[in-house]
Chain A
Amino acid sequence: MTTKTFESGCCSHDARECRTNKENLLSSTDASVSRAAATTSARPWIVAKFGGTSVSTRARWETIARIAAEHHARGRNVLIVVSALSGITDMLKAIVESRGDEARCREAQVGIVERHHSLHCELQLPTRNALDGWLARLDQLIADPRRAQTALAWQAEVFALGELMSSTLGAAFLGAQGLATRWLDAREHLRAQPLANQNAWAHYLSATVPAAPDAAFAQALAARGEVFITQGFIARNGSGKTVLLGRGGSDTSAGCFGALLKAEQVEIWTDVPGMFSANPRVVPEARLLSRLDYEEAQEIATTGAKVLHPRALGPLRRAGVPLVIKDTNRPHLAGTEIRAAAADAAPCVKAISVRKGVTLVSMETVGMWQQVGFLADVFAEFKRHGLSVDLIGSAETNVTVSLDPSENLVNSDVLSALAADLARICRVKVIAPCAAITLVGRGMRALLHRLSSVLAEFGTLDVHMISQSSSNLNLTFVVDEALVDDLIPRLHALLIRSDALRVEDGAVFGPSWRQLAEDGAAPLRETWWRRERETLLRLAADASPRYVYSLDQVRVQARALMALPSPSGDRRESGFSVVDRWHYALKANPHPAILRALHEEGFAFECVSFAETEAVRATLPALPAEQILFTPNFAPQGEYAAALDIGVRVTLDALHPLMHWGELFAGKDIHLRVDLGVGRGHHDKVKTGGAGSKFGVALDQVDEFRALARQCGARIVGLHAHLGSGILDASHWRSVYAQLASLAERFSRIESLDIGGGLGVPSRPDETPLDLAALGEALAEVKHAYPQFALWMEPGRYLVADAGVLLARVTQTKRKGAINYVGIDAGMNSLIRPALYGAWHEIVNLSRLDEPLAAMVQVVGPICETGDVLGANRRLPECREGDVLLIAQTGAYGAVMASHYNLREPAAEVVLVSPSPRRGEGWGEGKS
């Protein structure tokens, strides 16, 4: 080791000393590298920034030491930029805001001292002088008379201590680990520049530092050492006073140092693998973004993602320095790399981001068009009140702007004052709380044609504002905030389906959040039809097209529901189930073998027509009538009469029956289906709640319904709500259940609450299945609050969808223009869901399951309709005439919705019973 590295233990601050330990694992590397000391100026720089949680424990500091040492060993100079220990900035804030509250101030100070002393101990550092120097400074600042006025310059000095202390501890620790590390006072090198219009607050607490490559600085620094540690967040102004760089300031510092040094790379080390195509907490299917250009990253960071502060990117873009976001816990992951746009980058949506808490100010005037200076007047008011405008939309007589959320808006009367001033020049309307949903990606305008399904989704909502910047990087929709949590996962899925977010592009998109969480590649979902491939191929060879059902699979699903977990605290009695009665909604698939299997599994049945009721009774003659729930919609009077006659449970979903056929219901128990007013589901046509749906009694008619029931002597013993299908989010039923329960409390004889079905079945291989444990917990919570009501549910598709496949043989193939078609002998007359709902079914070539995928094809049927497409844009192995294609998840709403259109016979049904049948035996009945 050279003298220089020994010296590096001593930092520029006089109270600071750090010792290197010559007998450590890193010393040999150090020695070898320092031989090249003469050429240090040529060593490229790496700037690595670590946030609060990354500097709070010894283990985390060991990680920092390892990362820095690895870079150093590769011949790089390293500048480490750190934040304050997590929680410290909040405690400093308590001191800053304490004013006269000495107790609060003292409490925070004690907390800060304890926290640093305990980390000091944990790091096993020999002396504490340097740290105690800063703590003494804190003492001085608390006693400072400027505290009484919470002077801005004083605040900046107080806040700066957090980073000064963490970097001091870090320098000592890295030194003790044998990585000779110099402590650098960031304020000596980052010089803030005042901006026009900058108020005093921003001047001290949210200052701006211009940074451009400075070869002389890089050289001078290299002459002093090879590894440095410095503070994020802090700088000096022109008169030498400490200033702060505002929220996310450590990222900004890293960006500035990266530009100054013209670093090879700036690394932002965090607790997540990088930036994602959506907030992964809301959309688990969000993809890691492997590669972004500066502008896209800036846009994503500005419009919602918290992982990187957008201000860090400006200096790096100008200096041409790439930035990488890396996961401290999984350093082997590549993370997100941000660099200049590739010349040939194709237009593509990269991310969908959301900002909540947005406030819109809509200003209306007559004849703005001719009114010179109207906009100038308006914006002058925003400036005067210190509010910065984000989005702008304008029409001839209206200009609407958005304000991003800020503490100022929520805790002060600034909005009220602004509105009062604006009201002098125009009519003002404040619209909130809103959320701005932004699609980000280069070349947005070239993608519009792909966004039709996304736009259709917005079409059902009240969109307050749409904005598209001339930079062509974004498309923003402002809607009511309450809508977005449900909306975002749907939009993300639609963007993938419409090929606007091209997840197949491996250079841009990495694995999904969920895949990463499950650590590594998600295994292919184990499906029964892969196991039964040989049997299925034989069946298809015998006759085609045909539906094949696996009763085992039906039972697997049924048992999973029957065992629906609930929190352990409630599992007092064995066999406790949070759902008191399960019904199978047999409209999904009324095949007798399935009815028998589900009856054996303990299911009751839900029928929507009297014919379905008769089908259940024919198949299961011993079934008690009360095990059948008859829930029709707009059925004729005769069906109700017949149902009541045989004693099945009847649900009404309109006033009409009581009003006009009241005598039918005298002395009878009835169930009431209500419409809780919100529709949801995976497609417009399968949403069954909400003002646009024909199901249920509206909440405002419930009292009238009760009065009618009383008049004709009917007892309302159950409430029912079913809001849609294909729902994968457990909190939905919790909310339906809670709403029904609170409604039921107003009745006197309600015994059961039926919260419907709609349990979603993921169709794409990468979609997350419904979390049954979460569902159980959500339901148990409500059950606990309303133990007096029995809980019923009525799943259909969930039980049978995966249990059925449609087998079809390839009839012809064709290429037309750029499009390749694979024709099969099953069409929309056998399976209408793709045409009717736009449903997506997995399609595989069962004959060539293991062959490599070839070009993209359209899988089409033989029906004379343009819409007879079973799967668009699929990648299959090269298909030949006679190959067997398997269309998965067709056990529900497949055969039962089939028709004889074109006078083509639809696919027949076969039931597979276990054990796996050998040729010629054990096959169940066909339907016919």
Chain B
Amino acid sequence: MNSLSDPRQAHTFRFVRRDYTDGVAELVYAFDDGPELIERIVFPDAPALAPDRSAAFEAALDLLHWVAGVSYYKAGVPAQIRVESCALDAATAAFLDALYLHGLGDFAYHNKLDLRGRIRFSVGVPQRAQAAQPRWELRSRLQRSYRGAAPTRSLPRRTLVPIGGGKDSLVSVEILKAAGEDATAVWVGNSPLIAACAERTGLPMLNIRRELSPLLFEYNKQGAYNGHIPVTAINSAILAVAALLYGFDAIAFSNELSSSSATLEYDGQPVNHQWSKSWEFECAFHDLLKSQVAADLDYFSLLRPLSELSVAERFAHTSRYDDVFSSCNRNFRILGPKPADRWCGQCPKCHFVFLALAPFMPKPRLLGIFGRNLLDDMSLAPAFDALMEYRDHKPFECVGEGIESRAALAALVQRAEWREDAIVARFAEEIAPQLGAGELALDALLAPSGEHRIPERLVRFVDAHR
């Protein structure tokens, strides 16, 4: 039973159980009758749980168990999903179906898998394989699962703002500070870079630790599937638990407008590399929290109505984070003193953030942040073409929309200090003439637009323009 086999041969992925003791949540999964995969989430200095919040806390913990399972499920993608810990109601099952399908879209594309029709969380009684749980516990959970809306839990007016080390969450921090909110900078994992950014915010800090089951690495060696998982969904579920544990009534993420657009279409299906950052996910998770966990727990993205460019413009307002932040996906785990330690200069994120900030800050400041001029390197022409969706599709990274890159470059063409740089000059000569003037207007992209779930009291601080 304990010998590891290739998880791709497994028939069933099992949600075995989840526990919480003294600040440590244990989430347990298994493939067939294989060894238990145990993930631990460690909440530092966890207070004793307020009795009036315990039901909501249990519900949030269940949700976390189901959401975080995606990291393990994807190793084998078995045909059957079995929730043994407690029963799912229809709304939750539908939410998880959507999360696993869309959240693994990029993963499926890269592994040449078709997940449509394969992912199905069953509604109804828990599907226990062996020994049954004590009946009373089961009953209480069933009761809760069938309720329509969760009650309020008298959570204090405090906001958790997750920090990612990149520009977006730091813009949110500055908005919350301007609004005078009681906010705490929170992050999951042990990135020194994020810790440095969190410290620079000046806010109180909360660092939650997440320990993946070491067996997952062993499964990888056996040939498990690997690829992107919807990590924002997992972090959202962790923060929902944290909100109930420590007492926060809001979780303010920093996903912007373009997070909702598909990065490509594959086999007739739109694939969004960052689906768990999308408006669709935000609404679904928000509704689920309100109905299943706590009616007074707010979950929203503060930057939802803003384009990437608009976020970049806001980021440029303060130079407070210039020497600590990084949006680069390659080097983000390691902290170093030099720009090259934080910005690889080779990934689409580096290229896009450089381009998005360029219209809004003095050139020497931007070059000081990156330590080099990415727009004067002709070898990066194909990379910028991809950002502009010129001749190539959009790269699989969290970058802005093509129209934003085109507008940013068009703005730089108008600027004498940028105009002669290789990529800008090439854009002016070769690409701009093929585009209509309307496609290149920067200002239209800077105003907030579209739907959002930002609490009324904060809206004007997000709208505050320039």
Seen from chain A, the residues whose Cβ lies within 8 Å of a Cβ on chain B are 357, 359, 405, 409-416, 418-420, 422-423, 427-433, 480-482, 485, 699, 731, 734-735, 738-739, 741-743, 747-749, 751, 781-782, 784-786, 788
Q: How far is the CB of B206 from chain A (nearest CB, A)?
A: 20
B364 near A785 with CB under 8 A, answer: no
B190 near A784 with CB under 8 A, answer: yes
Q: How far is the CB of A711 from chain B (nearest CB, A)?
A: 14
Known: A357-B368, A410-B368. A430 touches B226 (CB 8 A): no
**Assembly CA distance A416 to B416 (angstroms):** 7
User: Which residues of B from 189 to 214 have beta carbons under 8 Å from A?
Assistant: 190-192
User: B376: nearest residue on chain A (CB-CB)?
Assistant: A431
Known: A749-B223, A785-B191, A786-B333. A419 touches B416 (CB 8 A): yes
Known: A427-B420, A431-B376, A749-B221. A742 touches B364 (CB 8 A): no
User: B415: nearest residue on chain A (CB-CB)?
Assistant: A416
B368 near A419 with CB under 8 A, answer: no
A432 near B363 with CB under 8 A, answer: yes
User: A412: nearest residue on chain B (CB-CB)?
Assistant: B362
A428 near B417 with CB under 8 A, answer: yes
Contact of B20 with A by CB under 8 A: no
**Assembly CA distance A410 to B322 (angstroms):** 11
Residue in A405, A416, A738 whose beta carbon sits within 8 Å of that of B331 in the complex: A738
Q: How far is the CB of B73 from chain A (nearest CB, A)?
A: 16
Q: How far is the CB of A684 from chain B (nearest CB, A)?
A: 22
B364 near A433 with CB under 8 A, answer: yes
Query: What total of chain B residues lie within 8 Å of the partner, measured CB to CB?
Result: 41
| Contacting residues, chain B, for A481 (C-beta < 8 A) | 371-372
| Contacting residues, chain B, for A427 (C-beta < 8 A) | 420
**Assembly CA distance A786 to B415 (angstroms):** 42
Q: Binary interface profile of B, 398-427, with partner A (CB < 8 Å = 1, else 0)?
A: 000000000000000001111111000000
**Assembly CA distance A427 to B192 (angstroms):** 44
A416 near B334 with CB under 8 A, answer: no
B376 near A411 with CB under 8 A, answer: no
User: B193: nearest residue on chain A (CB-CB)?
Assistant: A785
| Contacting residues, chain B, for A428 (C-beta < 8 A) | 416-417, 419-420
User: A416: nearest residue on chain B (CB-CB)?
Assistant: B417
A734 near B334 with CB under 8 A, answer: yes
Contact of B330 with A by CB under 8 A: yes
Which 7 A-B residue pairings sit nearest by Cβ, starting from the closest?
A419-B416, A419-B417, A748-B226, A423-B416, A429-B420, A785-B333, A430-B417
Taking each of A405, A423, A747, which has the highest tally of chain B beta carbons within 10 Å of its own beta carbon? A423
Contact of B57 with A by CB under 8 A: no
Q: How far is the CB of B363 from chain A (nearest CB, A)?
A: 6
| Contacting residues, chain A, for B227 (C-beta < 8 A) | 748
Contact of B217 with A by CB under 8 A: yes
User: B425: nearest residue on chain A (CB-CB)?
Assistant: A429
In the complex, 5 of the A-B residue pairs with CB atoms within 8 angstroms, ordered by the A residue number, are A357-B368, A409-B362, A415-B417, A738-B333, A749-B220
User: A432: nearest residue on chain B (CB-CB)?
Assistant: B367
Q: How far is the CB of B351 from chain A (nearest CB, A)?
A: 14
| Contacting residues, chain A, for B417 (C-beta < 8 A) | 415-416, 418-420, 428, 430
A409 near B364 with CB under 8 A, answer: yes
A410 near B364 with CB under 8 A, answer: yes
| Contacting residues, chain B, for A357 (C-beta < 8 A) | 364, 368
A748 near B220 with CB under 8 A, answer: yes
Q: Binary interface profile of B, 218-243, with partner A (CB < 8 Å = 1, else 0)?
A: 00110111110000000000000000
Known interface pairs A409-B364, A430-B421, A742-B330; 16 further A-B residue pairs with C-beta atoms within 8 A, sorted by A's residue number: A359-B364, A410-B319, A415-B417, A420-B416, A427-B420, A428-B419, A431-B373, A432-B367, A482-B372, A485-B338, A738-B331, A739-B344, A748-B223, A749-B220, A784-B190, A785-B191
Known: A419-B417, A430-B417, A748-B224. A410 touches B376 (CB 8 A): no
| Contacting residues, chain B, for A747 (C-beta < 8 A) | 226
Residue in A430, A480, A485, A781 whose beta carbon sits within 8 Å of that of B363 in the complex: A430
Contact of B9 with A by CB under 8 A: no
Known: A423-B416, A480-B372. A433 touches B362 (CB 8 A): no
**Assembly CA distance A409 to B340 (angstroms):** 21
Q: How far is the CB of B77 from chain A (nearest CB, A)?
A: 13
| Contacting residues, chain B, for A409 (C-beta < 8 A) | 362, 364
| Contacting residues, chain B, for A420 (C-beta < 8 A) | 415-417
User: A358: nearest residue on chain B (CB-CB)?
Assistant: B364
Contact of B341 with A by CB under 8 A: yes
B364 near A432 with CB under 8 A, answer: yes
Residue in B217, B346, B362, B372 whose beta carbon sits within 8 Å of that of A413 in the complex: B362
Known: A411-B319, A430-B363, A748-B225. A422 touches B220 (CB 8 A): no
User: B337: nearest residue on chain A (CB-CB)?
Assistant: A731
Contact of B105 with A by CB under 8 A: no
Contact of B339 with A by CB under 8 A: yes
